[in-house]
Structure 1
Amino acid sequence: MKSKIIAAILGLSVLASCESQLTKTPDFISEEVVFEDKNLTEAYVSNIYQDMLFIHTTGEGNLDMGMIPAAGAEHINFADWQTPNTTYRRAYTAAAGAGPLNYWGYNSIRDINFLLENIGSSQSLDEDYILQKTNEARFLRAYAYFQMVIRFGGVPLITRVQNIDDPEEELYPKRATEQEIYEFIQSELEDILVTMPDKKTGASGRVDKYTALSLLSRASLYAASIGKFGQVQANGLVGIAPGEVENFYQTSYNASKEIIESGMFALYDKHQDKVTNFTQLFLDEGNSEVIFAEVFEPVIKGHSYDNLGTPAGFLATWNSNYPVLYDMVELFDFVDGRKGTDISRSDLVATKSWDIDDFFGKRDPRFRASVFYPESEWQGSLAYFHSSTTYTNSEGNRVTATSGTLSRNGVAWPAAAHARNVRNTALLLRKKLDESNTEPISGRSGQDFYVFRYAETLLNFAEAAFYLGKTGEALDALNQLRERAGMPLLTEATEDNIRQERQVELAFESQRFWDLIRWRIAPQYLDKVRTKGLVFNYDMDEDRYVITLKNAESQERTFGPERFYLPISQDLIADNPNLEQNPGY
């Protein structure tokens, strides 16, 4: 198996004749010598990194990049046939399995276990290098287990390479408890931290001390939440013992505090304008806030985010693929202190009009940097999202147009926006799009994906501190984020404002879905819920918009309490009959 991996990395010699192909021994690299050569070792480790699930990049033209935000009711994808939309439309049963949310990372874990069992015997690599690669591999194994435990709870804990002649109980291992998996992640990270040097490499895509601390902070916070708000079931296969909650919160708090006190990181605050600053945070790569990133480069390892996300009316060939749900918009408060929910849904009626700058433009600058709404400026023009325009014509009659071009103050104005912009929610994802990419091409965008950033560290710290009774420290951490964003400072830390701040700061970054689950409040937002979009009708005479609600999705979302864990597929159980199914399936 390892020989095939190395061959895939390095390629095989292509022989000129059929005769030579039949007689020459294939030019595989023996697994016995992989860790005798630094280049082969780097290729082997890079292959493991490549297989890690930092962000979904599968699907035609990377359509699955919106997978977890779609599952978490932040934005959806343009069409129901796209895989992210099936995460909330499909049934979750033992027969159907986990579907597109599945991750069963044992191929990567086997590769990691092979490295850990063999690299120490190298006669060519120096001890410091061996330790570095060992620590990276142990982090990646912990990360793979984290990705599985948040989906399934307890899973088989395999820390050595399995061989066909192993005893049956090792070839077909039972599931460890969920708590044992979290304890393994914690112990692995704490162990490697002892020997990891105090330097930063995470922003360039290589695991370092602060990457390990970040996973320790996140994973321990998850475990604490599950113990506090969930229950132990199936003899511990899912759930965390209540008696361990404080220990997990303390571990998360300590890991976060070590990052904070290191002085190695700071909130990005390069630009005076708050919208510009939050926008550039995700484009100014390698900045002071980035702890660990999956690195992308156009052509070499690019993605299609700009081509997919740019609104219709510009030069993207796909475009408008990430409609933002109005349910998410309501989480963003206003700079003058009004709550996002102060605009009652009952006021979104055809008899009332709104100033678009007040409705959207005076919201949290993080919203304006993250979401396209009517008349958002983009690439020297405006993005449009209205379905019609009402105006007084030359004969003095009020008319409504849905096609053609009108004149607004002497400037061309489309009577209605492009159909793709209005079809779903009439709001689109803007966060992380590169405005300088004026002709985005599939596979040619290069924005890095931030797996861990310092803002999350502050949010983890605030949440852990709050439940440990350190409310003053929690408040200070929250207000650092709000001050950077240009929002009014809070006067107290509460469970509600800690959760809201996290959802706003980390919006569309593949976090909310898992947060709603670990807080055990996912049914409130994802079960028997028909998410909403907006319809904009522009009144040119008043320069205002009539804004009404519409259903954003074709059906209600469902999320029963069994969905706190995903079902283990019947195929996996058929392969390993010692796997027990999760409760409720």
Structure 2
Amino acid sequence: MKKQFLIYITLLGIGIFSCQDLNLEPKGILGEPELFGNEYGVKKYFAAIYNNLPIEDFLYYGTNSGSASAYRPDNYWEQGKNSQGNMSGEFYNTWVLVDNDGFAYWPYDRIRDINTFIENFPKYQKNYTDKVFANLQGEAHFLRAFYYFGLAKRYGGVPLIKTVQNPLADKATLEVPRNTEYDTWKFIYEDLTFAIQNMDATSEAGRANKYVAAALLSRTMLYAGSIAKYSQYLGFQGEAATSAGMAGMDASKANEFFQYCVDAGKVVEAGPYSLYTRGYPDKAKNFADLFLDATSSESIFIKSYDITSPGNNRLRHSYDALMSPSPDMSSFVGAESYPPLDFIELYDMPAVVNPDGTPVRFNNRGDIRNEMEPRALGTMFFDGDELRGKTFNIQRGIYKKFNVLAADAQQGSSAAPINAGDNRILGGRGWTTAINGVTYTIAGTHGNFEDQGGENNGWGSAFIRKYVNPAQATSDVREYRSDQHWVVFRLGEIYLNSAEALYELGNRNEAFNYIEKIRIRAGSKVARPAIDMTTSNIGTINKANYPYSIEKSLQFIRDERIRELYGENHWWWDLRRWRTADQVLNQFRHRMLSCYFVANEGKYIYLDEINRWNRSWTASKQCYYEPIPWGEIGKNRNLLPQNPLY
């Protein structure tokens, strides 16, 4: 069954004491016997550990550098402006640039809590049945693996602390050195394997089970396999951390991890999950509903929120308020993030340019949706779509005439002759213009506006639909007034993980069996494309030059992953594990799909334009391994050598 957890903000104080002779028992503090001696106590002990799991969700503040609070940001309504999607270029907005996600993540306090449980819980085994005891032990190993995953994907090899350290021990004992990256990923594998073997197939809401552990194993082992295979192309061989095996693994280890990923996927598939189809036959609405239905057959593990909780605490978030235009669909500052054309064009969509190079003429702006892949329509709102009783109206401007090729518009450049003089008319919110005695509104109700900046300005021709709650009244769409859950693991991702790992192992047909399932549910025109084993080093987005060549069908699987998981905070981590971030995000200038009315024809055209601030996103090779926090190195010199390029 699907598992969800409710994050807890206010917790009872928890104290675990070593053997000390105290004359008085402190009042109101739960000790080890009260916590570990019964299931309710263990649940309370695990609550804070679940609450701080490294899950990049609605509240994740991707550029909160130096504060170690990206998972728990202070001014957290602004997450919409500083989300990981905005940081990494998955969304377009005007607020943030690539920042390598660095914020000194170092959760060894939580790992210590888990080790305390693993080490001391056996003393209370007589209080439990064998099944319950094994399940709780497995759950602790799952939690520990999750935290180590948050470390490994940032730093590579880290200290593997498996027992509770005595703070009074000698310095040499306490200054634990880093393990190799291979050993770190293998430790995650071992913890999760233990969890799968010991956990039940079902569990109460808010807790993991064997299938949740298998889903985490699927994800982590795909990461490990990719890192092992592709890190050799980074040129870090001369770096001390790489030579020591702390930043990178031998490529010969890749298939070991890819096979672990496939095996974990088989475990998940044996569980009670299926691709979500409850909303059929409307495949667009079905895909959107997948992320809002708390009883979805596809969700394996979800993180829940609760709008009934008091105050503006972190049981609430602000996603709707920051993804919907104001005032029609939001009563707050309005939308902050938009899908670029670079991602929209990965889906099946209608041609906007004719074979002769001229723009396709549309009778209505909303006709862009007519041949759009249902999954794209379930992921994004386009002109003509409805939300909260209002219809999206998105237009950049007006051409008096457009009698040239689409390329002649030079991606929106003011220097293009067709855009010169008063032939192209741009305007602000509500501005009008008269052409041959007819008055026209220049821009759409929801953008694009020349007189506004980043807030509430439709920079392209689409808004984000995924995770947006249409049932919420516009008057209630404000900061801290959303409580839809975040899907941590779902079957669609597991299929994609298995497909990629299988392809890397050479099992191409089996890999595309999973891709076909995904594409049929998506409503794609071609459910199972032909396998193309031609090799290329040219990526799809930004036409990036990869440092290695891959078969075009593997690139298709990567693109399918982007299509299916768009807006779910996988993109940044996928670029990092594929070792392509510094190329894909190399002066990456978002392209925006802009709609214009051609006045002398009474028709609409869509043009491919560079974002009009000409902003670029760039990631350097430093992004692949974040620096071990210098404050930790100051306490433990055995954490050296530092990661490459730092």
The bucket for the TM-score relative to the shorter chain is 0.7 to 0.9
Q: Is the 8 A contact 1:424 1:553 kept in 2?
A: no
Distance verdict in 2 for CA 1:124–1:304, change over 3 Å: farther
Cα shift at 1:143: 0.8
Which residue pairs with 1:454 in the alignment?
A: 491
Asked whether 1:333 is paired with 2:348, we answer yes
Change in 2 beyond 3 A, CA 1:413/1:365: farther
Displacement after TM superposition at 1:476 (Å):
1.1
Stretch moving more, 470-479 or 114-123: 114-123
Query: Within 1, Cα distance between the matches of 2:376 and 2:283?
Result: 11
Listed one character per residue, the Cα deviations across residues 154-211 of structure 1 (whole Å, up to 9, x for unaligned) are 111111222222232332211111111110011111122122223365xx43211111
2:498 aligned partner, one-letter code: F
What CA distance in whole angstroms lies between the structure 1 residues aligned with 2:74 and 2:605?
37
Question: What is the 5 A alignment of 1:286-435?
Answer: 286-300=295-309, 301-312=315-326, 313-334=328-349, 356-357=365-366, 359-389=368-398, 402=427, 404=430, 415-418=443-446, 419=449, 420-422=455-457, 424-435=459-470
Offset at residue 432 of structure 1 (A):
0.9
**Distance apart, 1:415 and its partner CA:** 4.9
TM-score (norm 2): 0.76
In the alignment, structure 1 residue 472 sits paired with structure 2 residue 513: no
- Counterpart in the other structure of 2:275: 267
Partner of 1:483: 520
2:282 alignment partner AA? D
SS in 2 for 1:386: coil
Normalising by structure 1, report the TM-score: 0.83
1:562 aligns with 622
In 2, distance between residues paired with 1:205 and 1:552?
A: 45
Cα drift, residue 354 of structure 1: 5.1
The equivalent residue for 1:113 is 115
Distance 2:370 2:109 in 1: 48
- The answer for the alignment partner of 1:199 in structure 2 is 202
Q: 1:571 aligns with which of 621, 624, 631?
A: 631
Cα distance between partner residues in 1 of 2:587 and 2:117: 47
CA shift, 1:55, in A, is 2.5
Q: Please tell me whether the aligned partners of residues 102 and 626 of structure 2 are also in contact (alpha carbons under 8 angstroms).
A: no
Structure 2 unmatched runs, 5+: 1-7, 15-23, 60-72, 310-314, 402-421, 434-439, 450-454, 532-552
Change (3 A) 1:263 1:240: same
The 8 Å contact of residues 13 and 30 in structure 2, kept in 1 or not, is answered as no
Question: In 1, Cα distance between the equivalents of 2:639 and 2:572?
Answer: 26
For residues 343 and 107 of structure 1, the distance between their equivalents in structure 2, rounded to whole angstroms, comes to: 56
Deviation at 1:358, TM superposition (A): 5.2
- CA contact 1:154–1:179 (8 Å) conserved in 2: yes
C-alpha distance 553-574 of structure 1, shift in aligned 2 (>3 A): farther
Paired with 2:566 and 2:324, the residues of 1 have a C-alpha distance of 18
Q: Determine the C-alpha separation between the residues in 1 that align with 2:183 and 2:25.
A: 50
- Which stretch shifts more, 556-565 or 352-361? 352-361
1:476, 1:357 → 2: CA distance? 34
Paired with 1:430 and 1:73, the residues of 2 have a C-alpha distance of 17
Could you say which residue in structure 2 is the equivalent of 1:73? 89
Which range moved further: 369-378 or 474-483? Answer: 369-378
Which structure's residues are more often helix, by fraction? 1
User: Given the superposition, is the C-alpha separation of residues 265 and 429 from structure 1 closer, same or farther in structure 2, using an over 3 Å criterion?
Assistant: same
- Identity %, equivalent residues: 29
Which amino acid in 1 is paired with 2:190? Answer: S
Residues 245-298 of structure 1, C-alpha deviations (whole Å, 9 max, x = no match): 1111111111112222x1511100112111011011111112110111112222
Change over 3 Å in CA distance of 1:318–1:496 after alignment to 2: same
Contact (CA 8 Å) 2:229, 2:252: kept in 1 or not? no
* Most deviating of 569-578 and 544-553: 544-553
Shift of 1:422: 3.2
User: Structure 1 stretch 244-253 or stretch 167-176: which is displaced more?
Assistant: 167-176
Which structure 1 residue ranges, 5 or more long, are not aligned? Answer: 1-5, 13-22, 93-97
Q: In the alignment, what sits opposite 2:602?
A: 542
How many angstroms does 1:534 deviate by? 4.2
Shift of 1:550: 3.2
Check conservation: 2:136, 2:199, Cα contact below 8 A.
no
Match of 1:185 in 2: 188
Q: Relative to structure 2, which stretch is displaced further, 312-321 or 530-539? A: 530-539
Deviation at 1:479, TM superposition (A): 0.6
Structure 2 residue matching 1:578: 3-state secondary structure: helix
Tell me the distance in 1 between the aligned counterparts of 2:425 and 2:183. Answer: 64
The answer to whether the 8 A contact 1:332-1:363 is kept is yes
Are 2:382 and 2:463, in contact at CA under 8 Å, matched by a contact in 1? yes
1:157 to 157, 160, 163: 160
Per the alignment, residue 211 of structure 2 pairs with 210
**Following TM superposition, by how much is the alpha carbon of 1:475 offset from its aligned partner in structure 2, in angstroms?**
1.3
SS of 1:246's equivalent?
helix
Give me the whole-angstrom Cα distance separating, in 1, the residues matched to 2:11 and 2:90.
37
Give per-residue Cα distances to partners, 1:534-553, cap 9 Å, x unaligned: 44333466241453513366
Question: Which one of 471, 474, 483 corresponds to residue 436 of structure 1?
Answer: 471
Task: Give the counterpart letter for 1:63 in structure 2.
Answer: E
Query: How far apart, CA to CA, are the structure 2 residues paired with 1:426 and 1:516?
Result: 25
Structure 1 vs Structure 2 CA RMSD:
3.3
Aligned partners of 1:179, 1:51: CA distance in 2, in Å? 25
Aligned length: 539
